[in-house]
């Protein structure tokens, strides 16, 4: 899956700049290719499949010795571990709760890493997307959060997720930033010039 092109990133950054001129909020947009490489998952699945191998072999008419069974287990383990590293299959097998949890953890890490909790009036807002997981989260600091309820954020998030599912991540970002801007200029309109945080699009590999 392709992340945003340079012109698309610049378009998102320009949209953020336009929104910030009308609100005291500081917006940061982060796009991750995926929340985790999940390197341990293929190994766990391969081990489980290998453990079932002796039972499957016992149902066949083959007469195998102990070493034959052990060799079969190792071959099954190696083949499964390699096969399950194929990203489409890996993500299909991945529990949805695990994917959402890892993406949520990365979103919170990004909120702190980019100092969105240290803005002058506690008005930092993170728009976080993990493309592989089709995960979108908007995290707002206390100066924003007390004005905007969860349902309002969720409507914006749902629209963005639909855009990602259609392969329209760039359009989703622009619509999301614009919709956030409409809420933010209503609840925390601009009272002074500020630019505490960079407006560029942050892309994580």
Mind listing the pLDDT tens digit for each residue in 150-196?
Answer: 899 999 999 999 998 888 989 999 999 999 999 999 988 988 776 66
Asked, for residue 1, whether it belongs to a domain, the answer is no
Q: Does pTM surpass 0.85?
A: no
Question: Which of 75, 93, 111 finishes a domain?
Answer: 93
Residues 99 and 86 in one domain: no
Residues 104 and 200 in one domain: yes
Q: Which domain holds residue 161?
A: 6-36+95-204
Which string of DSSP letters, residue by residue, matches the chain? -----HHHHHHHHHHHHHHHTTBS-EEEEEEES-S---THHHHHHHHHHHHHHHHHHHTSS----HHHHHHHHHHHHHHHHHHTTSHHHHHHHS-HHHHHHHHHHHHHHHHHHTTTTSSTTS-EEEEEEETTTTEEEEEE-HHHHTTS-HHHHHHHHHHHHHHHHTT-HHHHHHHHHHHHHHHHHHHSB--S----S--SPEEE-
Residues 89 and 99 in one domain: no
Domain total of the chain: 2
Mind listing the pLDDT tens digit for each residue in 79-137?
Answer: 988 888 888 888 787 888 988 999 999 999 999 998 888 888 888 999 999 988 889 99
């Amino acid at each position: 899956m392709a992340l945003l092109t340079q012109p698309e990133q610049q378009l998102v950054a320009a949209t953020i700049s336009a929104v910030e001129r009308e609100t005291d909020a500081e917006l940061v947009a982060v796009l991750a290719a995926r929340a985790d490489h999940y390197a341990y998952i293929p190994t766990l699945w391969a081990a489980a499949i290998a453990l079932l191998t002796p039972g499957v072999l016992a149902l066949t008419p083959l007469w195998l010795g102990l070493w034959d069974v052990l060799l079969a287990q190792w071959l099954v383990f190696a083949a499964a571990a390699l096969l399950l590293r194929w990203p489409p299959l890996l993500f299909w097998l991945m529990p949805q709760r695990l994917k959402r949890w890892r993406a949520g953890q990365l979103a919170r890490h990004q909120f702190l890493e980019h100092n969105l909790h240290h803005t002058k009036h506690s008005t930092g807002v993170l728009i976080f997307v993990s493309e592989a997981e089709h995960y979108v989260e908007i995290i707002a600091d206390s100066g924003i959060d007390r004005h905007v309820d969860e349902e309002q954020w969720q409507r914006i998030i749902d629209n963005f997720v639909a855009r990602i599912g259609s392969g329209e991540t760039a359009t989703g970002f622009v619509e999301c930033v614009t919709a956030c801007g409409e809420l933010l200029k209503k609840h925390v309109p601009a009272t002074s010039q500020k630019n505490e945080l960079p407006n560029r699009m942050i892309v994580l590999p």
